[in-house]
Amino acid sequence: MNETMKNPQPACFLGAVVFALAACPLPAAEALPDTRPRNVLFIICDDLNTHVSTSGYSPIHTPAFDSLAAAAVTFSRAYCQYPVCGPSRASLLSGLYPESTGVTANDADIRETRPGTLTMPAQFRQAGYWTARTGKVFHNPATNPDDAWDENPDLFRNDEMPVEKAAREAFEAKHGPVTHPKNRKAWREHLPTVATQTRNQAAGYGPSGLRDEQHMDGKNARQIAKWLDGRAFGDKPFFMVCGIHKPHVPFLAPDKYFEMYPREKLVFKPARPDFWQQAPQIAQDHRYRAFGFELGVENDPLRREYMQAYHACISFIDAQIALILDALRRNGHWDDTLIVLTSDHGYQLGEHFMWGKVTLFEECARVPLILRVPGSANTGGRTTAELVELVDLFPTLAELCAVKPPPHLQGRSMVPLLNDPAAKGREAAYTVVIRRGQLGRSIRTADWRYARWPGNAEELYHLKNDPAEETNLAATAENRKQLRLMRVMLDRAQTEAAAKRN
């Protein structure tokens, strides 16, 4: 699963480079047009599932996604390798599976679990690119390698919401400044009780009362525009990454975006009431409790409140992404910039009674992925349902920009899929997540998904006939042959995923 590339010439625009692929290789890439993308703009959202128009979710309004997709290839079946922020980001930014990065929790740092690993931005910087990040790219500042960036500013924060300000002023009138050591604990405990908007990581949600530019994502988008307007990169090609925080909790957005999604008009399918009677309990994550739900109980009004807030966040970030795309056009870089728009993993909004991430269901593992390669005749407004993984992004961008990749990469270049609409993608996509200190593992093919958990609990879903994964077929006699096949495929994927651990 490792790829190597011939040494590139100094110019960024060379003929297509052929990667040596392991099992199930993709077809050899045809030569791309002479007009090659010199720059890279990488936009990664946090906790964004496929509730976007480009993923076929019609209730949402995402015109920036649509406009980008009209000039790009949309990958409708792209999957993360771990449905949690830190492990997923370490994986896609290193081109390694989580078993090989050693990062399987948010508090892990790839610089400690796999010292010397060259990440995507560091590789591009070594190749002569001006590299910059704003917002969340690696999981947090503690895991963000400084040697990867020419510009690495502090994270932005939301301005104080009106509801926060009122609560703070009332508290301070009684107790003094919230910053005083004697008041800090009491203030931290009091603020989440004020309103749903102040719950923060504890599933906070609601209209913020702020303008777009007062939110951290409004500030992130404007930072990218500022770099473009001021030509901060000089004469170098740039590799800019914009980490979009929403729709991560708390689900906060300016009021106008909430008005776009009246709660009574939201449409969703209630979860199958008896689902967990025929699916392994270990496949659950208990985050639904923090959202105020009970397992097996459909709470329609509360579900609508959260869905409205999640959708408001998506339309809010879409508007910020539009600002970034406008800045590219305004500065003459629309035609020489490769654009990636994706998410670190998906998110569950009540499916299977689950809320949040940390499961292996489609809603958690599947992500939006749009890749624009200007100048390529086959990449405008096309969608492919071929299987790809986020780990494939590193070798793909390296090939498209003629940047020599490090030898450790486990991903596979998607350039053949960009060049040829008839090209084939992966045979299967692989995703893992921790349970009881061990990994639960899942493999997806075009029509099936199989999962194996610690203790050998199993799941098997026929995605073609059961896309909502409501009926576990692992114990059915008529599917034993398919079950055996999926076990073999998972064993092979597991071996390959851990092959670069040392």
**Contact predicate 434/104, CB 8 Å:** yes
pLDDT at 100: 98
Rounded Cα gap, residues 81 and 388, in angstroms: 11
Strand, helix or coil at 150?
A: coil
pLDDT by residue (tens digit) across 144-190?
887 899 999 999 999 999 999 999 999 999 999 999 999 999 999 99
Q: In sequence order, what DSSP letters do the residues of 102-130 get, joined into one string?
A: ---STT--HHHHSTTPPPHHHHHHHTT-E
CATH code for the domain of 486? 3.40.720.10
- Please state the separation of Cα 34 from the chain's center in Å: 31
Nearest to 253, CA basis, from 337, 199, 311, 177: 311
Whether residue 324 is contained in a domain is answered as yes
Query: How many domains is the chain built from?
Result: 1
**Contact predicate 399/415, CB 8 Å:** yes
Q: What is the pTM (predicted TM-score) of this model?
A: 0.92
The two structure tokens encoding residue 233? 């990169």
pLDDT at 142: 86
Whether residue 400 is contained in a domain is answered as yes
b/e map 205-217, b = 16+ CB within 10 Å: bbbbbbebebbbb
Whether residue 22 is contained in a domain is answered as no
pLDDT at 380: 80
pLDDT at 37: 52
Strand, helix or coil at 373?
A: coil
Report which secondary-structure segment, H or E, holds 240. Answer: strand 238-244
State which residues form the domain around 126.
39-158+208-497
Nearest to 120, CA basis, from 342, 327, 403: 403
Between vectors from CA 3 to CA 139 and to CA 106, what angle results, nearest 5°?
A: 15
Q: What is the chain's alpha carbon radius of gyration, rounded to the nearest angstrom?
A: 22
Show the low-confidence residues of the chain (pLDDT under 70).
1-37, 377-378
- Tell me the β-bridge partners of 439: 434
Whether residue 71 is contained in a domain is answered as yes
Nearest to 464, CA basis, from 451, 477, 446, 483: 446
pLDDT at 141: 87
Rounded Cα gap, residues 93 and 119, in angstroms: 6
3-state percent breakdown (helix, strand, coil) of the chain, nearest 5: 35, 15, 50
Strand, helix or coil at 365?
A: helix
pLDDT at 145: 84
Peptide bond into 247 cis (omega under 30): yes
Question: HSE (CB half, 13 Å, CA atoms) of 57?
Answer: 21
pLDDT at 378: 66
The secondary structure of residue 151, as a DSSP letter, is: B
Sheet containing 458-462, strands listed edge to edge, beginning at the edge strand earlier in sequence: 429-435, 438-444, 448-452, 458-462
Whether residue 178 is contained in a domain is answered as no
pLDDT at 147: 86
Rounded Cα gap, residues 106 and 87, in angstroms: 6
Whether residue 416 is contained in a domain is answered as yes
Rounded Cα gap, residues 288 and 348, in angstroms: 9
Whether residue 315 is contained in a domain is answered as yes
Whether residue 187 is contained in a domain is answered as no
First vs last C-alpha separation in the chain = 15
Name the packing angle between helices 181-190 and 162-175 (round to 10°): 140
